[in-house]
Amino acid sequence: MRRLTLVLLLIAGIFLFWMLAEVGWAPLRANLTRVGWGFPLLLLPYGVTTTLDAYTWRRLLPDAGGRVGWWRVWSLRLEGEALNVLTPTASLGGEPYKAAGLLNAGYPMEAALASLLLHKALRVVGLFVYILTGLALALLFLPEISPFLYGLLAGALVLGLGVAGFIAIQRRQPCQKLVGLLKRLHLCPLALAAREAELRQIDERLAAFYAEKKGLALGLVGVQLMGWAVNALEVWLAFRLLEAPVGLTAAVIWDSLAMIFTGLGFFLPASLGMQEGGNILLAVGLKRGAAFGVAFSILRRLREAVWMGLGLLLALRRR
């Protein structure tokens, strides 16, 4: 996995450097110098997003208040997401770390893993709704980018199929079916077979949630949707700092459509290259220029670096 990460980072890094060179260093530098001391403001929206994510996860934990505190859930989420971003594992690289944190807090394995699977599902459903909202707003308020929307709609549909498949699998005893398949292929590890009863309980928890807690699921999808929408404030602030202010509607459109590229680049560490390419295409489509798209991408990367760095520091301190 470490070698794969390095190879993907190298490929994405070369592609990113090529894009920066094509745009030009001088206009990029001119855009970034406009930001100045306003950069710390860009850190605030992601803090809100992390808080909303932690709230959703905590609501999925049985008896959460008596076993793990709010700060523990918040920090575990930040630490795990740092690992998700930095590994080419479809945003799953940090989930074992989160599960280990819950196990250390006294949760049984089945409760910990079920909460993580449900949280991931609600999160991606919220993202898909956010992307659809952005596409609808783009059609209504930014008809000038309509030539680009067909390709973006195709990307959104690909993501939507992935989301639907993820939910469908969770509702159909995924753990037991996986163990059964591995046994038929004579590939089931003894350690996994020994935990078959716990895996059955995970399936039961997942099925019970989707069957009995539809209201809670809908409410938490709404919380996740708000978490994604808060990212639009980051776009709004970044545009103002770059002296190219836009309204909140345009910020939502930009951010939600950019998420399509980020989602399609899930196999790359931090979606390196895909995220930047998406921002450049959006900037060109909205008549902002490629240099503006790169400058915005770098601001977002710097924000990611600060928060992911904090997550890694918290993880190292806990270790």
In a domain, 172, yes or no: yes
- Residue 299 · residue 190 · CB < 8 Å: no
Give 50's pLDDT tier (boundaries 50, 70, 90).
very high
- The three-point CA angle 290-292-295 to 5° equals 110
Does the pLDDT of residue 90 top 90, yes or no? Answer: no
In a domain, 15, yes or no: no
In a domain, 16, yes or no: no
The tokens describing 288, both together, are 């902002």
In a domain, 12, yes or no: no
Using CA atoms, how far apart are residues 280 and 205, in angstroms rounded to an integer? 43
The tokens describing 84, both together, are 């998700």
Percent of the chain with pLDDT over 90: 23
Give 127's pLDDT tier (boundaries 50, 70, 90).
very high
The tokens describing 276, both together, are 């930047």
In a domain, 32, yes or no: no
Query: Which pLDDT does position 88 carry in this prediction?
Result: 54
Average confidence score pLDDT of the chain: 80
In a domain, 9, yes or no: no
The tokens describing 286, both together, are 């909205």
Query: Which pLDDT does position 21 carry in this prediction?
Result: 54
In a domain, 22, yes or no: no
User: What are the contacts of 270-278 at 24+ separation with CB within 8 A?
Assistant: 270/85, 270/86, 270/301, 270/304, 272/8, 272/9, 272/12, 272/13, 272/16, 273/11, 273/12, 273/13, 273/15, 273/16, 273/19, 274/12, 275/300, 276/16, 276/19, 277/15, 277/19
Angle between helices 290-318 and 274-285 (to 10 degrees): 150
Does the pLDDT of residue 154 top 90, yes or no? Answer: no
Between 243 and 44, where is the model more confident?
Answer: 44
In a domain, 228, yes or no: yes
Average pLDDT of the residues in 287-302: 79
| Placement of tokens 């709230």 in the chain | 55
Which residue range(s) make up the domain with 284?
40-318
Query: Which pLDDT does position 10 carry in this prediction?
Result: 55
Does the pLDDT of residue 5 top 60, yes or no? Answer: no
Average pLDDT of the residues in 247-274: 78
Query: Which pLDDT does position 30 carry in this prediction?
Result: 57
User: What are the contacts of 166-169 at 24+ separation with CB within 8 A?
Assistant: 166/120, 166/121, 166/124, 167/121, 167/125
Region of residue 87 (left: phi > 0; alpha: psi -120 to 50; beta: else): beta
- Which of 81-90, 152-161, 308-317 has the least mean pLDDT? 81-90
pLDDT digits (tens, 9 = 90+) for 198-224: 888 888 899 999 998 999 999 999 999
Give 65's pLDDT tier (boundaries 50, 70, 90).
very low
Query: Which pLDDT does position 195 carry in this prediction?
Result: 80
- Number of domains present in the structure of the chain: 1
Query: Which pLDDT does position 92 carry in this prediction?
Result: 61
Query: Which pLDDT does position 288 carry in this prediction?
Result: 78
Residue 236 carries which side chain, given as an amino acid letter? W
- Which of 36-45, 159-168, 215-224, 263-272 has the least mean pLDDT? 263-272
